[in-house]
Amino acid sequence: MLFSLRELVQWLGFATFELFLHLGAFLVFSVLVALRADMLTPGISWWLVFVPLFAADGLSTYFTAIVSIRLYQEGEKRLSVLRLLWVLTVLSLKLVCEVLLCQKLAEQEQARDLWYGLIVSPLFILLQLLMIRACRVN
């Protein structure tokens, strides 16, 4: 809409397949959230609800590792290291945010000191990084 797929891939640094994977994981996650919130499945814990997002992060890391190894073998050493570093940074920031949110939801009483500003802080860092990367890609 605002960005073409090619621009998104360049900007975010993820392959189209990885974007597809994360989108699918988010769809499953949203279904589980709705089921959990509506108490249709009261036995399901919040950690289980977040499993699709964790799985997508794991698969994305695996995919990136393979692509980086292949790039390294083909002599594109700088590109492979840069790609690996970027994707790992983005995925780890995303993972930290997910884990903190999950902890907040799962342990409402114990995690009272865990305020939402702290949970979202990895996303604020990610936003700054994405802005810097956009300037470089442009």
Partner 1 sequence: MSLAQRVLLTWIFTLIFLIMLVLRLDEKIHWNWFLIFLPVWAFDTILLLMLVVKMAGRCKPGYDPRNGAQNMKKRVWYLVAMSLKLAFCLTLCAKLEYFSDLWVSFVCIPLWALLIGAMVDLGYSVFSFRRD
66 binds partner 1 (CB under 8 A): no
Range list of H helices, 13-115: 16-37, 46-49, 51-73, 77-106
Please report whether residue 1 would count as binding partner 1 according to CB under 8 A.
yes
The count of residues interacting with partner 1 (CB under 8 A) is 35
Q: What is the spatial distance between Cα 114 and Cα 59, in angstroms, rounded to a whole number?
A: 28
Q: Does 20 help bind partner 1 (rule: CB under 8 A)?
A: yes
Is residue 131 classed exposed, middle or buried when 0-12, 13-18 and 19+ CB atoms within 10 A define those classes? exposed
Binding site for partner 1 (CB under 8 A): 1-3, 5, 7, 11, 16-17, 19-20, 23-24, 26-27, 30-31, 33-35, 37-38, 40, 115-117, 120, 123-124, 127, 130-131, 134-135, 137-138
